[in-house]
């Protein structure tokens, strides 16, 4: 009996190590030097800058929530310029309609991961706000993100490509815009509230096996459900009221 229990325990431990190893396999990027690391177990530390909303310590993490007086989603940004990088952190929805990890170009928006209770989107942003450019959604997945549950978020940007990952939901896309300098990585929150912790930013290079990895992932535009109604509420997400266009052929190139 003891031998059988030991064997079962060994199998479970092996499966755990195997799952952890599989989860750590490179996707788009190979991580390099760590540039920033924040536990976020309190109010936003320097050099983070809160442009809108209320950001404070909450339950061993940092919370962000929209203020009605702002008439705009909560915004917190890091005043850094980047090129090729990986960002990883954890988020919990606790009443928020949505929260995003967004990256700006030197002028206007560039890319973001949008996290809502019922959907997750990975997209290239509208880069001229009121001009002819439109956002391009590489994927929008159905999700069921319940309050009180932590979720791991990862954004990789290398060259003309981006890859977003929320738990097991993964999508990628490409755009010439992504080759431009990147700036002000940060968070937005629409509604009340979202909690954030364990932020890490590091340099990155292209995974030499990227083509093989890409073949296992949905093609850009292949997984796009209709946007939930909550996505249209609040501001601070580019052309939030408009519908993002389907990916152009150039955006889907490897």
Run of H or E residues at 196: strand 194-206
CATH number of the domain residue 227 falls in: 2.60.120.560
Residue 180 falls inside a structural domain: yes
Whole-model pTM?
Answer: 0.83
CA-based nearest residue to 58, from 189, 181, 241: 189
Q: Can you list the residues of the chain whose pLDDT is less than 50? A: 1-22, 231-254
Domain containing 156 equals 29-252
CB 101 within 8 A of CB 187: yes
Do the domain assignments include residue 233? yes
Report the number of distinct structural domains present in the chain: 1
Q: 12-49 pLDDT, tens per residue? A: 333 343 333 345 799 999 999 999 999 999 999 999 99
Structure tokens at 66: 């929209």
Residue 16 lies in a domain: no
């Amino acid at each position: 009996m003891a031998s059988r229990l030991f064997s079962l325990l060994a199998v479970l431990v092996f499966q755990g190590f195997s799952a952890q190893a599989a989860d750590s396999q490179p996707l788009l990027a190979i991580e390099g030097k760590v540039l920033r690391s924040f536990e976020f177990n309190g109010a936003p530390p320097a050099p983070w800058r809160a442009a809108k909303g209320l950001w404070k310590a909450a339950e061993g993490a940092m919370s962000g929530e929209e203020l009605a007086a702002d008439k705009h989603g909560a915004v917190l940004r890091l005043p850094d310029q980047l090129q090729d990088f990986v960002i990883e952190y954890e988020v919990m929805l606790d009443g928020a309609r949505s929260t995003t990890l967004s990256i700006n170009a030197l002028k206007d928006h560039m890319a973001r991961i949008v996290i809502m209770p019922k959907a997750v989107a990975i997209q290239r942003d509208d880069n001229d706000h009121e001009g002819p450019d439109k956002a391009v959604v590489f994927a929008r997945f159905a999700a069921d993100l319940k309050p009180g549950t932590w979720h791991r978020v990862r954004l990789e940007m290398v060259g003309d490509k981006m890859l977003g990952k929320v738990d097991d939901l993964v999508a990628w896309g490409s755009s010439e815009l992504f080759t431009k300098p990147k700036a002000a990585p940060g968070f937005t929150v629409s509604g009340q509230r979202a909690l954030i912790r364990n932020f890490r930013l590091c340099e990155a290079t292209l995974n030499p096996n990227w083509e093989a990895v890409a073949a296992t992932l949905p093609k850009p535009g292949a997984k796009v459900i209709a946007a939930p109604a909550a996505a249209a509420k609040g501001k601070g997400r580019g052309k939030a009221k408009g519908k993002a266009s389907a990916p152009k052929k150039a955006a889907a190139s490897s």
